[in-house]
Amino acid sequence: GLRRDKTNIIGMIISDVSNPFFPAVVKGAEDTAFNNGYRLFLCNSDNNFAKEETYLRELQTYLPSGLIIMTSDIKGSTKLAEAYRAAGSHVVYVDRLPHQWDGDTVTSMNEQGSYDATKYLLSLGHKRLAMISGPSLLTNSGERVAGFRHALEEAKIKLPAKYIQEGDFNKQSGYEKACFLLQMDPRPTAIFAANDLLAFGAMNAIRDMGLRCPEDISVIGFDNLDLAEVVTPPLTSVEQSGYNLGAVAAQLIADRIRGDGSPRRAHVLPTTLKLRASVAKVP
Ligand code: RIB
């Protein structure tokens, strides 16, 4: 059939517009797209793969030059993304990737960041470490669990399986999972939460159970949201740059449109542990 020219539109699908981590990713993508002459169309999937696919199908009407996608399901089909690619659009998955995807990606060093956070807790004498993970449906979540486990294995620490609780990357599930962990006997002395919202929920649970952070229990988060500095005590967190995740993805699309035909790129951006008062030596 006729192959129509693409527009200057880049479609972006994010997974949860209410999570304070994602505006930075959008801002990075939008700034970079705009500066390269492209316009960003934003869609929110609410962590719902069916909604993600609906948006992907309907965006076709706009003939986007590129797509930036955060998937909600690592096992989800990439057929639609592949159809875009076959039609000459450039697709980049960011932050949360589908297993099947063999094209461009931008992620953070999830495993390294979690390993660093866990090593830090170990260096302060913690041995009973618990983790509240993200959903096992997401690649970044699995990588964070792997970093945690790796550091514990190196330290020859074996923990009961129940010390890793699967949460949902939101404050409420952080609260619930921490309540469960804090009732265990023996109680963990530190909780590594796979994102800051989970950590905030855990801090509230610690307070509501009459315990103190960090005197009784240390907490580390992941993302380093602006809010991490605002909570009491200020939260130690693994910083990742949401802005750069979005910016690198949009730049990659702009470069591809201008003819960069180099092989698949898998950009992995650095993380840094930000030390604050939510962590203390083992009690
Ligand atoms: O807080 C949101 C989390 O989900 C982040 O850590 C990010 O990596 C995302 O996938």
Instruction: Decide whether 9-108+241-270 matches 110-240 in CATH topology.
Output: yes
Q: How many CB atoms lie within 10 A of CB 15?
A: 24
Q: Is the beta carbon of 21 within 6 A of some atom in ligand 1?
A: yes
For the CA of 225, the closest atom of ligand 1 is 1
When pLDDT is cut at 50, 70 and 90, the band that residue 4 belongs to is low
Task: Report the nearest-CA residue for atom 7 of ligand 1.
Answer: 95
What residues contact residue 277 under an 8 Å CB cut-off, 6+ apart? 214, 233, 234, 236
- The whole-number pLDDT of residue 283 equals 81
Indicate the range of 174-178, 194-198, 255-259 predicted with least confidence. Answer: 255-259
Q: How confident is the model at residue 3 (pLDDT cuts 50, 70, 90)?
A: low
Q: What is the mean pLDDT of the chain?
A: 96
Ligand 1 close to Cβ of residue 169 (< 6 A): yes
Report the C-alpha gap between 156 and 167 in whole angstroms. 25
Can you tell me the ipTM of this complex?
A: 0.95
- Residue 1 pLDDT > 50: no
* Torsion sign, CA atoms 267, 152, 282, 169: positive
Distance of CA 179 to CAs 117, 169, 233, 277, Å?
Answer: 22, 16, 19, 21
Measured in angstroms, how far is the CA atom of residue 21 from the centroid of ligand 1? 7
Give the start-to-end residue ranges of the domains of the chain.
9-108+241-270, 110-240
pLDDT at 5: 79
Section 124-146 average pLDDT: 96
Q: Ligand 1 atom closest to Cα of 70?
A: 10
Instruction: Indicate whether residue 96 lines ligand 1 (CB < 6 A).
Output: yes
pTM for this model (two decimals): 0.95
CB of 192 sitting under 6 A from ligand 1: no
Q: Which fold has domain 110-240?
A: Rossmann fold (3.40.50)
Does residue 219 surpass a pLDDT of 70? Answer: yes
Write the pLDDT tens digit of every residue in 178-192. 999 999 999 999 999
Quote the percentage of the chain above a pLDDT of 70: 99
Q: Which CATH number is 9-108+241-270 given?
A: 3.40.50.2300
